[in-house]
Structure 1
Amino acid sequence: MNKTETILLVDDQPENITIMIEALHSQYTLLAATDGAFALERAASEPRPDLILLDVMMPGMSGHDVCSRLKSNPATQDIPVIFVTSLDAPDDEARGLRLGASDYITKPISPPVVQARVRTHLDLKRAREQLQRQNTALEELVRERTVEVVEAQRERVESLKHFAAAMAHQIRNPVMSIGGMAGLLLRRAPEGSRLADYAEAVREDSLRLESLVGDVSEYVSLSAGAFHEVRVEGLVEAALARAREAVGEPERLRVESALQPALVRVDERIVVMALAEIAINALEFGGNGEVCLSIRGGAEAAPGWGGADRARYGIQLSDDGPGIDGAILPYVTDPFFTTKARGVGMGLTKVKRVVCDEHGGTLRVESPATTSEKDGGQGTSVLLDLPLA
């Protein structure tokens, strides 16, 4: 008979080992140890036993101590242990099971019982190992498929970028031509005439369409490139400078900043753009006066939401503007949604793309702003998080 499974017999009484050998030798390869120290050595050596029959009452190192040591060693922790003992009190059995034993056999042993218990736990061990192999194979398959999906998605994004760039080029040229001809017609039309009004309307719509093409092109180009470690303070400073330059009235923006110093790993170019969009929104909706933008950042920047994840850095930007009507708040990150007379409504859509899609983060917009200073007053808060370096 081919004996493919190995059992380690541990007992300080040779006669007990002899009895177990008689019960099991025809089916298994057997190893023996008469003390705890030697048992641990044999268990960790090759061939590694598939199961251990372990006496509890041994001098020096007890069976309980041996079991505890076996289960604390990664090399032997998965080997099933069956206690063989004359102790039959429920508390003794419970103690052994708490230590990690798989079963309990009381002395004097019955060979058929020993054979049945051993076979059961070897079958269970084999089933666990087979399940582990299947799980490992499945995980590897999932990893391979994930790589394939990511690569296919990257190719689709690249294709979309090329398509959008080509479409933008094809649309922008005639739009600029239409706008130019409308401007020429406007200069030649009699002032105040209906022809001048028509020419002005065509010129304004051509400018709006050109702006729309530019925004869509920028949105498609927001795929993250190389990620680098960047200081959060530097990102915010660059974004505020970009926002002030975009609105042309830098003195209108007052900033109160409380950023915990940290390094994040991001594509700096698109993150600066996203943060700048938030500040620009605050200025555009804040009327003609001064706008105060409160910026907080760190692991505790926004307790209770995604930014509290210790692996990410949360940022909260809160303005003191009029706030956003609750009826439209759920739609402010949707493409082309805007309540402004001018603009195409892509600002927060681009922010969502950068934070969520390209950096795996969370974005939330709240109004009234959730700052301790406002205590539920007006204003809007944008909460987002970025991966820590």
Structure 2
Amino acid sequence: MTKTETILLVDDQPENISIMIEALSSRYTLLAATDGATALERAAGEPRPDLILLDVMMPGMSGHEVCRKLKHDPATRDIPVIFVTSLDAPDDEARGLGIGASDYIAKPISPPVVQARVRAHLDLKRAREQLLHQNEALEERVRERTAEVIRAQRERVESLKHFADAMAHQIRNPVMAIGGIAGLLMRKAPEGSPLSSYAEAVREDSLRLESLVGVISEYVSLSAGEFRQAEAAELMGAALKGAQGLAASMGRELLVDSDLQSGRVQVDERIVVKALNEIVVNALEFALEDRVRLTIRGGPGQFGEELAEAGLTGPGRIRYGIRIEDDGPGIDKAVLPYVTDPFFSTKAQGAGMGLTKVKRVVCDEQGGTLLILSPAGAGGAARPGTAVILDLPLAREKG
């Protein structure tokens, strides 16, 4: 019979080792040690034992100390240890189990009991190893499948981008021609002729359609490219810098109270800055006053509880969280569930794609989470305001 499993016998009394050899030698490869130091050396050597039968009462290094060292060494910590001892008090057994022993066998030993206990723990060890291998294989398969899905998704997005670009080109050219002809009719139509107002309506609609084509093209172009490490505060700063120019053109003043903790995220900077900018632009466009106040907070691990309470993430997920809160009129409760839907807008003009683009970038392209709250929850505020909470993946530390 082939002996495929190895057992290390540790006892300072050779006669006890002889008894265990007689009970186990027919089925297993056996190693022996009569002191703790030798036991540790053979446990870490080759062949690596599959199980250790360890005497507790030994001179020098006790069995408890040997077990403690075995369990602290990554090379030996998974080897089952069965104490063989004449100590039978409950406290002694509890102490041994507390430092990592799998079982106890009382002296004087009974060969059938030793055989049964050894076989049971070897079967349990084999089952654990098989389960571990199956889990590793499943995890590898999941990683492979996830990579395949990501590749397929990126190919579809790229295909959609090319399609949208082609369609935009095909639509933009005739639309521009229609608008140009309508402008010419406006100049050529006799004064007071209804043709002039008709041509003006056609020209305005052609401009609106041309703008819509541009918005769709931009939305499709928001696919992530190369992911790099970046300071979250710097990304927010770049977004605010772009929004300050818009605020000035609108005759508004953008006042920002920002406190972002240091933290690096792994993102596509280009599209993340665009998404953060869209949040600020949205606050500017809906503001009722010329002074628009934003409160920005964030850092690693922040706002995870709010996202988990909303059912958007699981507990314990550590990301870089950002909260951007304005002091505007807020969003009506009936409208709030739809503000990230494409082309949904409460403005008289505009495509209604601002928050849709934010969701596309944060959730679809960066694997983050987005939550929009209104009222924002700031106690005592003059207006309800809107808060946008998002998280981004933290950069992995180099090591």
Q: TM-score, normalised by structure 2?
A: 0.90
Find the aligned partners of 2:4 and 2:302 in 1 and give their Cα distance. Answer: 60
- 281-290 or 152-161, which deviates more: 281-290
Q: Deviations over 1:332-368 (max 9, x none)?
A: 1111100111011101101111112222222221222
Report if aligned partners of 1:299, 1:309 keep a CA contact under 8 Å in 2.
no
Shift of 1:219: 0.5
* Alignment match, 1:45: 45
- 225-234 or 334-343, which deviates more: 225-234
Report if aligned partners of 1:180, 1:203 keep a CA contact under 8 Å in 2.
yes
* Alignment match, 2:335: 328
Find the aligned partners of 1:384 and 1:191 in 2 and give their Cα distance. Answer: 55
Aligned residue identity for 2:340: T
* Alignment match, 1:10: 10
Shift of 1:142: 1.9
Q: Deviations over 1:110-159 (max 9, x none)?
A: 11111111111111112222222222222222222222221111111111
* Alignment match, 2:386: 380
Shift of 1:300: 7.0
* Alignment match, 2:221: 221
Matches within 5 A, 1:29-108: 29-108=29-108
Aligned residue identity for 2:34: T
* Alignment match, 2:368: 361
Find the aligned partners of 2:253 and 2:304 in 1 and give their Cα distance. Answer: 27
SS of alignment partner, residue 351 of structure 1:
helix
* Alignment match, 2:311: none
Find the aligned partners of 2:266 and 2:280 in 1 and give their Cα distance. Answer: 22
2:202 aligned with 1:202:
yes
Aligned residue identity for 1:341: A
| Structure 2, gaps ≥5 residues long | 309-314
* Alignment match, 2:230: 230
Find the aligned partners of 2:234 and 2:110 in 1 and give their Cα distance. Answer: 76
Find the aligned partners of 1:2 and 1:237 in 2 and give their Cα distance. Answer: 70
Shift of 1:92: 2.1
* Alignment match, 1:258: 258
* Alignment match, 1:349: 356
Find the aligned partners of 1:24 and 1:277 in 2 and give their Cα distance. Answer: 73
Shift of 1:287: 3.5
- 277-286 or 193-202, which deviates more: 193-202
SS of alignment partner, residue 305 of structure 2:
coil
Report if aligned partners of 1:255, 1:295 keep a CA contact under 8 Å in 2.
no
Find the aligned partners of 2:304 and 2:118 in 1 and give their Cα distance. Answer: 53
Shift of 1:67: 1.3
- How large is the RMSD of aligned CA atoms in angstroms? 2.3
Shift of 1:309: 7.7
* Alignment match, 2:278: 277
Distance 1:300 1:312, change over 3 A: closer
Distance 1:187 1:350, change over 3 A: same
Aligned residue identity for 1:29: T
Shift of 1:229: 3.5
Report if aligned partners of 1:7, 1:52 keep a CA contact under 8 Å in 2.
yes
* Alignment match, 2:312: none
Distance 1:224 1:309, change over 3 A: farther
Distance 1:47 1:105, change over 3 A: same
Aligned residue identity for 1:294: T
Aligned residue identity for 1:266: V
Matches within 5 A, 1:145-160: 145-160=145-160
Distance 1:231 1:103, change over 3 A: closer
Find the aligned partners of 1:288 and 1:4 in 2 and give their Cα distance. Answer: 81
Aligned residue identity for 2:321: G
Report if aligned partners of 1:299, 1:310 keep a CA contact under 8 Å in 2.
no
- 298-307 or 180-189, which deviates more: 298-307
Aligned residue identity for 1:353: R
Find the aligned partners of 1:324 and 1:138 in 2 and give their Cα distance. Answer: 45
- 214-223 or 361-370, which deviates more: 361-370
Q: Deviations over 1:47-84 (max 9, x none)?
A: 11111111111122221221111111111111111111
Shift of 1:383: 1.9
SS of alignment partner, residue 304 of structure 1:
helix
Distance 1:111 1:309, change over 3 A: closer
Distance 1:238 1:123, change over 3 A: closer
Distance 1:361 1:125, change over 3 A: same
SS of alignment partner, residue 293 of structure 1:
strand
SS of alignment partner, residue 174 of structure 2:
helix
Aligned residue identity for 1:387: P
Distance 1:237 1:137, change over 3 A: closer
Shift of 1:242: 2.3
- 181-190 or 98-107, which deviates more: 181-190
Report if aligned partners of 1:253, 1:293 keep a CA contact under 8 Å in 2.
no
* Alignment match, 1:293: 294
Q: Deviations over 1:284-322 (max 9, x none)?
A: 111363322233333476463359988533322222221
Aligned residue identity for 2:151: E
Shift of 1:45: 0.9
- 95-104 or 5-14, which deviates more: 95-104
Aligned residue identity for 1:357: D
Aligned residue identity for 1:286: A
SS of alignment partner, residue 305 of structure 1:
helix
Identity %: 72
| Structure 1, gaps ≥5 residues long | none
Aligned residue identity for 1:381: A
Report if aligned partners of 2:321, 2:389 keep a CA contact under 8 Å in 1.
yes
Pairs aligned (count)? 388
Aligned residue identity for 2:202: V
